[in-house]
Amino acid sequence: MLKKLFEGYNKENFKVAIGMAWPAIVESFFVAFAGLVDSFMVSRLGSYAVAAVGLTTQPKFMGLAMFFAVNVSISALVARRYGEKQRKDANSVFVTAMVFVVIAAVVLSIIFVFAADPIITLCGSTQENAEEIATHEAAVLYFRIIMGGMIFNCIQMAVNSAQRGAGNTKITMRTNVTSNLVNIILNYLLIEGHLGFPAWGIKGAALATVAGTVVSSVMSIMSVCKKDTFISIPFIISDKIKASWAAFKSLVRIGYGIFFEQILMRIGFMATAVMAAKKGMDAMAAHQVGMNLMGLTFSFGDGLQAAAVALIGRSLGEGKPDLAKNYGKTCKALGMMIASVLIVVYFFGARTLMSMFFEEEHIIEIGVSIMRVILFVVLFQIIQVIYMGCLRGAGDTLYTAMAATISVTVIRTLVSYVGGFVLDFGIIGIWFGVLADQLSRFTFASIRYRMGKWVKIKI
């Protein structure tokens, strides 16, 4: 089976893809794993704390939507300029992006901190009894701290995106792994108060997350302080490279589709989260753990996507469309192997995984039912993420935005509502919407990728 899966693949290209992909996969996995560990550690405080963290997830990503778009633009443009051997232009893109990121992060951080309470209410939080009030207050506190420190996260993501575009995925892996190790250690120390540290509960979890991003942002900046790297602050200073309108227009041309895609996707994700919250705190807690576990599967696809963006951008910059296609096929084959392993793990380990987070048998049962749906989600998720990455790396961002909007904002929301409320399947009905979304995105991405027009796009 494996021989057939990799039949026709160039051995050297496969080695290059593996070398580029594995650090990105490890990096993305640790990011998702840290979120899972956060949920695990705050679960010691009670299911209300897991629900509180869950309420902040979608508004947090909504706030980061613009930066996700900028990051894809940075990576695609730097990869293309790397292939074209245009180092000065690549660094101009980097400087321009960093100026924009810092200004935007400061402004948005202030807005989210002051508007935290109504934002959490908008996400489905209710305050009809003591338990719901505690959940709401914990969510507001957590959200304010996380968004107050978002500038460090944004800087780290922007620098790492530039490094990925230049092929330096090991650097971004080291920064993210270190960040998440710091997060996990401080979670242990600050949530329940170990080794003489204060027991700050949900506040400690939030501060641990921010501390991790501070460390990673410093490491990321240090990684571009060397003269011999493709993206280099000393090179920028010596050549007096400044932010430019031309670079900004290039960032916008690639990023605007991704930005609207992210915003509309987050609306769909938030609608799902609100519907999950309406099913009660226990269902919301199980839903949050399910989302974290699904995030682990996404992390593998995301890592392969990061490699695909860099390799495809570089290949097209070198004028080698066939090589770009081969890298896309290679990343897909790797994704299929990983998906097969994850399905087996989740099938046999569903109850064990949920029992790690909850003691209440009825919540565990809800979680196991969610895991059964995730088994089917995994089939489509990893491959669609890789295909979408190939298209984005080539600059075909308007199509990916359209596909994501239809899939997440429309199909996911409608199926979740029908399944969860009209047919009254509860939280599982809402997860049917998640499955429908992934199937839709897989279909859209597969069709576009196989048409092959993406290799002709100029950026």
pLDDT category of residue 218 using cuts at 50, 70 and 90:
very high
List, in order, residues 6 or more apart from 246 with CB less than 8 Å away: 92
- Per-residue pLDDT, averaged over 239-250, amounts to 84
**pLDDT of res. 411:** 92
**pLDDT of res. 1:** 47
- What's the distance, Cα to Cα, between the start and end of the chain in Å? 38
Instruction: Return the amino acid letter for 41.
Output: M
- Per-residue pLDDT, averaged over 342-356, amounts to 87
294-318 pLDDT per residue, tens: 877 777 777 777 777 777 777 777 7
**pLDDT of res. 7:** 54
**pLDDT of res. 2:** 45
- Per-residue pLDDT, averaged over 139-166, amounts to 88
Question: Which segment, 133-142, 224-233, 432-441, is predicted with the most confidence on average?
Answer: 432-441
**pLDDT of res. 85:** 81
> Is residue 450 over pLDDT 90?
no
How does DSSP classify residue 44? Answer: G
- In degrees, rounded to 5, the angle at the alpha carbon of residue 77 between the alpha carbons of residues 74 and 79 is 100
283-300 pLDDT per residue, tens: 877 887 888 788 777 777
Mean pLDDT, all residues of the chain: 82
Residue 200's CB is within 10 A of a number of other CB atoms, namely: 17
- Around 198, how many Cα atoms within 13 Å sit in the side-chain half-sphere? 8
Give the E-state strand segments of 76-218 in sequence order: none
Residue bearing the bigger pLDDT, 218 or 199: 218
**pLDDT of res. 151:** 92
Residue at token pair 């506040």: 203
> Is residue 415 over pLDDT 90?
yes
324-347 pLDDT per residue, tens: 777 777 777 788 888 888 888 888
**pLDDT of res. 417:** 92
371-403 pLDDT per residue, tens: 999 888 888 888 888 888 778 767 777 788 788
Instruction: Return the amino acid letter for 92.
Output: S
Q: How far is CA 74 from CA 31, 121, 305, in A?
A: 20, 34, 14
Q: How far apart are CA 216 and CA 213, in angstroms?
A: 5
Task: Estimate the crossing angle of helix 169-190 against helix 11-42, to 10 degrees.
Answer: 10
How does DSSP classify residue 1? Answer: -
> Is residue 52 over pLDDT 50?
yes
Q: How many residues does the chain have?
A: 459
| Rg for the chain, CA atoms, rounded | 21
Q: How far apart are CA 300 and CA 295, in angstroms?
A: 9
Q: How far apart are CA 408 and CA 447, in angstroms?
A: 18
List, in order, residues 6 or more apart from 3 with CB less than 8 Å away: none
190-210 pLDDT per residue, tens: 888 888 888 888 888 889 989
> Is residue 115 over pLDDT 70?
yes
Task: Report the helix count and the strand count for the chain, using DSSP H and E.
Answer: 17, 0
Query: Would you state the structure tokens that stand for residue 430, as one six-digit string?
Result: 């809402």
**pLDDT of res. 128:** 62
Q: How far apart are CA 297 and CA 32, in angstroms?
A: 9
> Is residue 448 over pLDDT 80?
yes
- Per-residue pLDDT, averaged over 120-125, amounts to 74
List, in order, residues 6 or more apart from 302 with CB less than 8 Å away: 24, 28, 385
Torsion of CA 104, 109, 114, 116, to 10 degrees: 120
**pLDDT of res. 458:** 67
Residue bearing the bigger pLDDT, 97 or 40: 97
**pLDDT of res. 191:** 84
Task: Look at residue 153 and give its three-state secondary structure.
Answer: helix
pLDDT > 70: what percent of the chain? 93
